[in-house]
Amino acid sequence: MWFSKKPNPKYLLPTKRCTSTVLIAGEKYNNKGFYADVYIKTSLLVEWLEDYLSSVSGGSEIVKICRNQMLIWLKEADELDKSVTVLDSVQQEIIRPHAMDLVSKGRAYVYCKECSESYTSLVSTSDNLSKSGDERFFSLSYKCPNEHFIYQNEHMIRYIK
Ligand SMILES: [Zn+2]
C-alpha cells in the first residue's frame, strides 16, 4: 500500500503491578479544588469500574482502551502490598470526576493533613452562586469533621426544557 493507515492511539498500562490502595484524586495530582488526597481500596475500585464500564460510552479512543485495560490491571493487584499506587494521566482523567462521589458513597476515603487522619465521611455544603437562563452555578464543598477543607469547586447545572 502506498498510503499509510492512521496509527492507532497507543495506550500502555503502567508496568508496575497495582497495589492494595489507589490514589484516585487530590493535591498530589494537582487536581483543581482538592485540598487533600482521595484514596480507595483497589477491590472497591474494581467493583465500581465494573459497574461504570457497563453504563459508560463515548470518550476519546485512548480513554476507551484505557478503561478496559485498567480493569484487568486492577484485578491483578497485589493485595498484600500496602503501598499506594499512583495512576497515570489517562487513568486519572477517567476516575477523578467520580472521586468525591466515591467518597460520598463510603467507598473512597480522604486523608486530612490538618488532622493527620483518614475520613470516610465528610460534611458537604452547596451554595448557589448565580443563575443565568437555564444555567445554575453553585459551589460545592466538602470538609472533614473538624471543618478543614477537603474539596471546593464550582459546578454548573444546565436545565433542559
Ligand atoms: Zn481535618
If you average pLDDT over every residue of the chain, what do you get? 91
Tell me: the pLDDT tens digits for 44-85?
999 999 999 999 988 899 999 999 999 999 999 999 999 999
pLDDT-derived band at 130 (thresholds 50, 70, 90) equals confident
Q: Is the pLDDT of residue 5 over 90?
A: no
- Collapsed DSSP state (helix, strand, coil) of residue 115: coil
* CA–centroid distance, residue 141 to ligand 1 (Å): 14
This prediction has a pTM of 0.86
- Do the bridges between strand 84-86 and strand 123-132 make them parallel or antiparallel, or are there none, so unpaired? unpaired
CA 73, 75, 79, 84 torsion: positive or negative?
A: positive
Q: How high is the pLDDT of residue 135?
A: 87
* CA–centroid distance, residue 47 to ligand 1 (Å): 28
* CA–centroid distance, residue 37 to ligand 1 (Å): 12
What angle do helix axes 61-75 and 42-55 make, rounded to 10 degrees?
140
* CA–centroid distance, residue 115 to ligand 1 (Å): 4
Neighbours of 30 (CB within 10 A): 7
Q: What is the Cα–Cα distance from 147 to 142, expressed in whole angstroms? A: 9
Q: How high is the pLDDT of residue 8?
A: 60
* CA–centroid distance, residue 77 to ligand 1 (Å): 30
* CA–centroid distance, residue 33 to ligand 1 (Å): 16
Q: How high is the pLDDT of residue 118?
A: 97
Q: Is the pLDDT of residue 13 over 80?
A: yes
